[in-house]
C-alpha cells in the first residue's frame, strides 16, 4: 500500500504541469462519458438501493436517477469552465527593500476524501481535484460500492486516455483506509464527508490534518418583526425540501412576541409533511390542537441533527438569546435570521460563528453549486483554512514568489 501511495504522490506533479485548456477538455470528457453510460450507472445504483436497509431519508442520499445524473454532468461542465486557480496571484506588493512579493495559489498535493453515500461525489471530487491540480485517493461508503465503482471505472477511462490514471485511485476496503491513515508523510490532508462517528474515528487514528465536514446542525431564528408568511415558506423549504442533506434546518428559534401568530401559519404546513416536533416547555401549548406528533425536548435534543422529518423548536425572548443558543449548540455549518430589524441583523451576522450566515433566506443554499463553485469537495465546519462550501480555491494553498535585483539584508 505504501508503494502505491508513493507512486500517486510522485505522479501528482503531472497535474501541476497541465495547462488550463487541457484540464477543461478532460473534465468535459468526464461529463460526456457519464452521459453516454447513464443506463449502466443507474443499473448499478439500483443494486445499491436494493441492498440498502437504513431509513428513507438517508436512502435519498444514495439515490441516483436521470435528473440527478443530468445535474451531475451539468456540474462537471461548470467546473470545467471555471477559471484555473493554479498560478493565480492572490495579492502582490513591493516592500521597502524593493522586492516584488507575490502570493501565488498552488495545489495542496495529495488529498484523501472519505465519504458516505452520495455516489455523485465520485465524479465531482475528481473534477475539482483535477481543476486544482491535486492528486486524490477516494474512499466511498460500502452502501454505494456498485455505483461508485461504475462511475470511477468510466472516469478512469478518460484519465487513462490522458495518462493521468496514476494520479487518482479509489479504495473499497476499510483496511486500506487504516493503512493510509498512517502515511502522514505522503498524504497532505484528509477531507471526510460523513457522520460524526466516522470523523471521530478518523481523528483518533491519524496524524494527517483533517478538514472536517461535521454534522449540519442548522438553525433559523424568526425575529419579532419578520415577515411571517415569508418566514413560513423559508422554513418549509429549509426543513422539508430534502431532509437528508447537511444544510437542512434542524432547530427553529422563534421570538416570543410572534409565536402565537407564527405557529398558526406554520403548523398546517408542517402537518402536510407529518413533521415530528421536539418542543421546549413554553412551546407545548401551541401544538396541543395540531395533528402533529410532538414531544418535550431536552438538552440533547438541541445537539441532534435529525436528517428526517423532525424539527426542534424553541421560543426565545430576543435576538441575543437566539444567538447564544446557536453558538452553544451549532456545528458551525449554516444559520439564518429572518428579520426586518437592521440592528438585529447586523448583530446576528457579526456574532454568529458558523461558516454560512443567511439573512431572510433558506439555509439550503449552502452548496458549492449554488455558490458558483460548480460543485464542492465538502462543506467545511472547520475554523482553520477552509470554511463552508469547498470549491477549487479551498483545496489550494499558496506560496510566496519574491523577485529581487540583487538585494541583501542589512
Please state, in angstroms and as integers, the Cα–Cα distance from residue 4 to each residue in 168, 180, 187, 391, following that order. 11, 10, 12, 27
Residue 265 has a pLDDT of 97
- Number of other CB atoms surrounding residue 399 within 10 Å: 9
The two beta strands, 310-316 and 249-255, are parallel
Q: Which of 43-57, 160-174, 299-313 has the lowest mean pLDDT?
A: 43-57
Residue from 18, 36, 182, 63 nearest 112 by CA: 182
Residue 389 has pLDDT above 70, yes or no: yes
Mean pLDDT of the region 160-176 = 95
Residue 213 has a pLDDT of 79
Mean pLDDT of the region 181-207 = 91
The CATH label, of 3.40.50.970, 3.30.1950.10, 3.40.605.10, 3.40.50.1220, for the domain at 2-211+390-403 is 3.40.605.10
Do residues 342 and 351 make contact, with C-beta atoms less than 8 angstroms apart? no
Helices 145-161 + 20-36 axis angle, to 10 = 130
Please state, in angstroms and as integers, the Cα–Cα distance from residue 28 to each residue in 3, 20, 34, 246, following that order. 31, 12, 10, 28
Mean pLDDT of the region 153-178 = 96
The pTM assigned to this predicted structure is: 0.90
Mean pLDDT of the region 4-30 = 96
The CATH label, of 2.80.10.50, 3.40.309.10, 3.30.465.10, 1.20.1250.20, for the domain at 218-365 is 3.40.309.10
Mean pLDDT of the region 212-229 = 93
Do residues 44 and 147 make contact, with C-beta atoms less than 8 angstroms apart? yes
Average pLDDT of the chain is: 94
Mean pLDDT of the region 25-38 = 98
Mean pLDDT of the region 44-62 = 86
Residue 161 has pLDDT above 90, yes or no: yes
Half-sphere exposure of 123 (CA within 13 A, CB side): 36
Do residues 133 and 16 make contact, with C-beta atoms less than 8 angstroms apart? yes
Measured torsion, CA atoms of residues 35, 117, 365, 134, in degrees rounded to the nearest 10? -70
User: Nearest 5°: CA angle at 196, between 9 and 379?
Assistant: 60
Residue 49 has pLDDT above 80, yes or no: yes
Mean pLDDT of the region 332-353 = 97
What is the SS3 string spanning the chain?
Answer: CHHHHHHHHHHCHHHHCCCHHHHHHHHHHHHHHHHHCHHHHHHHHHHHHHHCCCCHHHHHHHCCCHHHHHHHHHHHHHHHHCCCCCCCEEEEEECCCCCEEEEEEEECCEEEEEECCCCCHHHHHHHHHHHCCCEEEEECCHHHHHHHHHHHHHHHHHHHHCCCHHHEEEECCHHHHHHHCCCCCCCCEEEEECCHHHHHHHHHCCCCCECCECCCCEEEEECCCCCHHHHHHHHHHHHHCCCCCCCCEEEEEEECCCHHHHHHHHHHHHHHCCCEEEECHHHHHHHCCCCCCEEECCHHHHHCCCCCCEEEEEEECCHHHHHHHHHHHCCCCEEEEECCCHHHHHHHHHHCCCCEEEECCCHHHCCCCCCCCCCCCCEECCCCCCCEECCCHHHEEEEEEEECCCCCCC
Residue 59 has a pLDDT of 86
Residue 53 has a pLDDT of 84
Is residue 221 very low, low, confident or very high in pLDDT (cuts 50, 70, 90)?
very high
Mean pLDDT of the region 9-36 = 96
Helices 145-161 + 38-51 axis angle, to 10 = 150
Please give the Cα distance from 9 to 187 (Å, whole number).
Answer: 8
Structural Rg of the chain based on CA atoms: 23
Location of each CATH 3.40.605.10 domain in the chain: 2-211+390-403
Residue 57 has pLDDT above 70, yes or no: no
Mean pLDDT of the region 37-49 = 97
Do residues 60 and 244 make contact, with C-beta atoms less than 8 angstroms apart? yes
pLDDT digits (tens, 9 = 90+) for 296-334: 999 999 999 999 999 999 999 999 999 999 999 999 999
Residue from 397, 362, 390 nearest 212 by CA: 390
Q: Which of 191-200, 214-223, 394-403 has the lowest mean pLDDT?
A: 191-200
Segment of 280-289, 329-338, 374-383 carrying the highest mean pLDDT: 329-338
Mean pLDDT of the region 149-163 = 98
pLDDT digits (tens, 9 = 90+) for 60-118: 889 999 999 999 999 999 999 999 999 999 999 999 999 999 999 999 999 999 998 88
Location of each CATH 3.40.309.10 domain in the chain: 218-365
Amino acid at each position: 500500500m505504501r508503494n502505491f501511495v508513493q507512486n500517486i504522490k510522485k505522479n501528482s506533479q503531472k497535474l501541476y504541469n497541465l495547462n488550463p485548456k487541457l484540464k477543461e477538455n478532460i473534465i468535459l470528457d468526464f461529463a460526456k462519458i457519464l452521459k453516454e453510460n447513464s443506463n449502466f450507472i443507474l443499473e448499478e445504483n439500483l443494486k445499491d438501493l436494493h441492498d440498502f436497509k437504513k431509513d428513507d431519508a438517508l436512502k435519498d442520499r444514495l439515490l441516483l436517477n436521470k435528473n440527478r445524473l443530468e445535474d451531475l454532468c451539468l456540474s462537471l461542465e461548470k467546473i470545467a469552465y471555471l477559471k484555473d486557480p493554479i498560478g493565480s496571484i492572490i495579492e502582490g506588493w513591493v516592500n521597502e527593500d524593493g522586492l516584488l512579493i507575490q502570493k501565488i495559489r498552488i495545489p495542496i498535493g495529495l488529498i484523501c476524501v472519505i465519504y458516505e453515500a452520495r455516489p455523485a461525489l465520485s465524479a465531482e471530487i475528481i473534477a475539482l481535484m483535477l481543476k486544482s491540480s491535486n492528486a486524490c485517493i477516494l474512499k466511498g461508503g460500502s452502501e454505494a460500492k456498485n455505483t461508485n465503482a461504475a462511475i470511477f471505472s468510466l472516469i478512469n477511462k478518460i484519465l487513462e486516455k490522458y495518462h493521468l490514471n496514476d494520479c487518482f485511485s479509489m479504495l473499497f476496503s476499510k483496511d486500506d483506509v487504516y493503512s493510509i491513515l498512517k502515511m502522514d508523510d505522503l498524504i497532505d490532508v484528509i477531507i471526510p464527508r460523513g457522520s460524526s462517528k466516522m470523523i471521530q474515528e478518523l481523528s483518533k487514528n491519524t496524524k494527517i490534518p483533517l478538514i472536517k465536514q461535521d454534522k449540519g446542525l442548522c438553525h433559523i431564528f424568526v425575529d419579532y418583526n419578520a415577515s411571517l408568511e415569508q418566514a413560513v415558506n423559508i422554513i418549509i423549504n429549509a426543513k422539508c425540501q430534502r431532509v437528508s442533506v447537511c444544510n437542512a434546518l434542524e432547530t427553529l428559534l422563534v421570538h416570543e412576541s410572534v409565536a402565537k401568530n407564527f405557529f398558526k401559519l406554520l403548523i398546517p404546513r408542517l402537518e402536510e409533511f407529518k413533521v415530528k416536533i421536539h418542543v421546549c416547555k413554553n412551546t407545548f401549548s401551541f401544538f396541543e390542537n395540531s395533528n402533529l406528533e410532538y414531544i418535550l425536548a431536552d438538552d440533547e435534543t438541541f445537539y441532534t441533527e435529525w436528517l428526517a422529518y423532525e424539527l426542534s423548536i424553541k421560543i426565545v425572548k430576543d435576538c441575543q438569546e437566539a444567538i447564544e443558543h446557536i453558538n452553544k449548540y451549532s456545528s458551525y455549518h449554516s444559520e439564518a435570521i429572518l428579520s426586518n430589524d437592521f440592528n438585529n441583523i447586523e448583530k446576528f451576522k457579526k456574532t454568529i460563528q458558523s461558516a454560512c450566515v443567511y439573512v431572510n433566506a433558506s439555509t439550503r443554499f449552502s452548496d458549492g453549486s449554488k455558490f458558483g463553485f460548480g460543485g464542492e469537495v465538502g462543506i467545511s465546519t472547520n475554523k482553520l483554512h477552509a470554511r463552508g462550501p469547498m470549491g477549487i480555491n479551498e483545496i489550494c494553498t499558496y506560496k510566496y514568489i519574491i523577485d529581487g535585483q540583487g538585494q541583501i539584508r542589512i
